[in-house]
Amino acid sequence: MMSTSPLMELTDIYKSFGNVNALKGVSISINRGECHCLLGDNGAGKSTLIKIMSGVHQPTAGQVNINGKPTVLQGPREAIDSGIATVYQDLALIPLMSVSRNFWLGRELTKKIGPITVMDFEKCNSILMSEMEKIGIQLRDPNQSIGTLSGGERQTVAIARAVFFGAEILILDEPTSALGVYQTSNVLKTVEKVREKGVAVVFISHNVSHALAVGDKFTVLSRGETLGTALAGEINYEELQFMMSGNKELSALKNSK
Amino acid sequence: MSINIKNISHIRAYFKNAMLRPDLGAIVGVMLVFLFFFLVAHDTGMFSLEGSMNWGIVSSQFIIIAVGACLLMIAGEFDLSVGSMIGFSGIVIAVTSIVWGWPVWLSILTAFAVAMSIGALIGYITVKTNLPSFIVSLAFLYILRGLTIFVAIASTKKTIIGGINEFSQNDWLAPIFGGKIFSGLFEWLAEQGWIQTFVAGTKAGQPVVSGIPAMMVWALGLIIFGHFLLTKTRFGNWIYASGGDAQAARHIGVPVNKVKILMFVFTAFCATVFATTQVIEFGSASADRGILKEFEAIISVVIGGALLTGGYGSVIGAALGAIIFGVVQQGLFFIGVESSLFRVFLGVLLLLAVILNTHVRKLITGSK
């Protein structure tokens, strides 16, 4: 029903910092309306990979295709313009500012009063309130500060903002790692909603159960290499955990219990 | 029952929001200060037209530099060179007009151009080196003060350059900084016998207060401009963001460096307004003018509820902080309290304000 070529395709990506090889031949493809989970232990190369996808780093070798065209993303701004939005764990929003000011930051709606251009708060606030309602956040007031929201709500606002401003690929960096159970389930619901809109979601996590709850595809990274990609239903919790943990530690713990 | 609970939570939310206004402390502070002096000093003439002009002018001076310091602090930076910049701009006007014989309007415009360029340089160095602006501007506190004294002495062998009045009287630009407005209105009020007039001397019959000084108009104008810029425009949104979390703001595409540099330029502009109004009013420039003004500006801003760490604050609050500053300083004079005690009061007030602001910050960010 949709075009078959992937939205974004990374082939044989190498990235080294000095003599440290962070990525050693990683390939991954991202499709529309699909939640692709990127799993891996700390230091597996997840962060490096998403930084390449969001234009922060450039690969040492390998090819990046966006919409089938070979592309070199020179910076975050270029990635954003190509429809790739990244929601970082703690860098997404400014806690002292209101929800509305945060949501519109950098893309403020304006109107003219005589010769002077001012922010159109009425329009900003009314669009914000309807967007928040759609995504399931009960805002008391568009002017309440981001700091009054829970961690899960902040993630949700950041996701809603990225999608509202036309993200086609949404990269979520450990969106649930700092959250409690209830907030995690809310964020996962948001991911589900966004995916249904046709947005491609790249979900980075080291929590297998969170990934299994929303993922369509699972790619496991280990020591800078992909251990393979599996579809939902083809793989279970134990197998993913087993792959992530480098085939031993956790399972060994389990057996000893 | 459920409606009641809802109402209570609404009321609570309303109060919580009011608590989070950055300028709430300053509003309460201004009311307390006026109440206090009204009770203690109402018979000293402090609240007569003439007395009000006295503390009004002092407050206006504080406001002019506080507005610039406020926007800069919200953008996440400090400028400790404000006081030196005041001395520097004044000497630039005096040297170019008196020694070099330039028309006063050209001297004033030159002072603005030079000061604002130095402001831009301070900002540029700060954002490029990523050093704390505290240190960069401290360097300029010394550089500018030293240059000011050097230039004054090298060109006139004095640190005070006088006689600007003769040149500024028929100038078209000088009255904007040193004139008075509504003089006609005050004369009329005096003729009606509604305001005090001089009873003897060469000015007999003329009103004691002959108009609103330009300095007050500048103060009011800067408050309106600063408040409007900060709260109503998209640039204001970027000021908040640059100070709130520069990295997050950059991620979203806000030109953080440009915002910060422009705020340094604006601070220098405010310092030059202050310097020019003083030069035109006194008819002289002095190389030691403006000493400690940077701290007085920062204190006004902090009393006004801004966070030292940036991202939060209010121009109205800073103006109210400046008024507290001016009213207390002059009020103590009216009631005959030893003026050195003013500094004690100021220190205590600053401490209280910072503790209160830190508490408010915790309420907003929900952090511990």
Q: Is A94 on the interface with B (CB under 8 A)?
A: yes
Q: Is B226 strand, coil or helix?
A: helix
Contact A119 B244 (CB under 8 A): no
Instruction: State whether residue B236 sits within 8 Å of chain A by CB.
Output: yes
Cβ atoms of B325 and B303 closer than 8 Å: yes
Give yes or no for residue A256 having a pLDDT over 50.
Answer: no
Q: What is the DSSP letter of B206?
A: S
Q: pLDDT at position B3, please? A: 55
Bigger pLDDT: A209 or B239? B239
For B365, the closest of A91, A107, A147 (CB atoms) is A147
Give the C-alpha separation, B268 to A213, whole Å: 56
A38 strand-pairing partners:
A204, A219
pLDDT at B368: 45
Most confident of A124-138, B64-78, B299-313: B64-78
State whether B249 and A105 contact (CB < 8 Å).
yes
Which is it for the CA torsion B239, B245, B247, B250, positive or negative?
Answer: negative
Residue B14's pLDDT is what?
66
- With a cut of 70, say whether residue B139 has pLDDT above it: yes
Of residues A96, A118, A119, nearest to B364 (C-beta):
A96
Q: Which residues of A touch B245 (CB under 8 A)?
A: 91, 94-95
pLDDT at B5 over 70: no
From chain A, the residues in CB contact with B240 under 8 A are 94, 96-97, 101
Handedness of CA A185, A187, A190, A195 (dihedral sign): negative
Instruction: Name the residue facing B233 among A91, A119, A144 (closest C-beta).
Output: A119
- For residue A251, the model assigns a pLDDT of 46
Interchain CB distance below 8 Å, A105 and B311? no
pLDDT class of A250 with cuts at 50, 70, 90? very low
Residue B18 has pLDDT above 70, yes or no: no
Q: What is the pLDDT of residue B111?
A: 97
Q: With an 8 Å Cβ cutoff, is A75 touching chain B?
A: no
Tens-digit pLDDT profile for residues A49-74:
988 998 888 999 999 999 888 988 88
| Whether pLDDT at B348 is above 60 | yes
Q: Which span out of A50-59, A98-107, B7-16, B112-121 was modeled with the highest average pLDDT?
A: B112-121
Kindly state the DSSP code that residue B98 receives in the 8-state scheme.
Answer: I
Say if CB A99 and CB A144 are below 8 A apart: yes
Chosen from B224, B231, B237, B239 to mutate, greatest number of chain A CBs within 10 A? B237
User: SS3 for A185?
Assistant: helix
CB-facing half-sphere around the CA of B267: CA atoms within 13 A: 35
- From the CA of A218, how many Å to the nearest CA of chain B? 28
Rounded CA-CA distance B37/B91 in Å is 37
Joined tokens for residue B201: 């001397």
Least confident range from A132-136, A166-170, B7-11, B100-104: namely B7-11
Mutate to test the interface with A, among B73, B234, B367 (most CBs of A within 10 A): B234
For chain A, say whether B130 makes contact (Cβ under 8 Å).
no
- Measured between alpha carbons, how far is A216 from A199 in angstroms, rounded to an integer? 13
- Is B234 touching A (CB cutoff 8 A)? yes
pLDDT tens-digit series, residues A153-174: 888 899 999 889 988 999 998 8
Partners of B80 in beta bridges = none
Subunit contact A105:B312, Cβ cutoff 8 A: no
Residue-averaged pLDDT of chain B: 89
How much is the pLDDT for B197? 79
Alpha-carbon span B301 to B69, nearest angstrom:
7
Q: Does the distance separating the beta carbons of A144 and B17 come in below 8 Å?
A: yes
For residue A23, the distance in angstroms to the closest alpha carbon of chain B comes to 24
What is the pLDDT, as a whole number, of residue B341? Answer: 87
| B305, B360 Cβ separation under 8 angstroms | yes
Q: What is the pLDDT of residue B10?
A: 67
Q: Is A117 on the interface with B (CB under 8 A)?
A: yes
pLDDT at A241: 81
pLDDT of residue A1: 41
Q: What is the mean pLDDT of chain A?
A: 86
| pLDDT value at B189 more than 90 | no
Q: What global pTM score does this model have? A: 0.87
- Chain B residues whose CB is inside 8 A of the A145 CB are 20, 364-365
What integer pLDDT is reported at residue A2 of this predicted model?
47
**What does the H/E/C string look like for A3-59?**
CCCCCEEEEEEEEEECCEEEEEEEEEEECCCCEEEEEECCCCCHHHHHHHHCCCCCC
* For residue A123, pLDDT beyond 90: yes
Give the integer Cα–Cα distance in Å for B30 and A232: 65
Asked if residue B1 has pLDDT above 80, the reply is: no
What is the percentage of chain B residues whose pLDDT exceeds 90?
61
Paired residues of A63 in beta bridges: A11
**C-alpha dihedral (B115, B121, B126, B127), degrees to nearest 10:** 120
pLDDT at A226 over 70: yes
Average pLDDT over residues B274-283: 93
| pLDDT above 90 for B12 | no
CA atoms within 13 A on the CB side of A20: 7
Mean pLDDT, rounded, for B177-197: 82
With contact defined as beta carbons under 8 Å apart, do B356 and B25 qualify? yes
Give the confidence band of B164 by pLDDT, cuts at 50, 70, 90: confident
The span from the CA of A244 to the CA of A40, in Å, is: 5
B124 pLDDT tier (thresholds 50, 70, 90): very high
d(CA B232, CA A111): 11
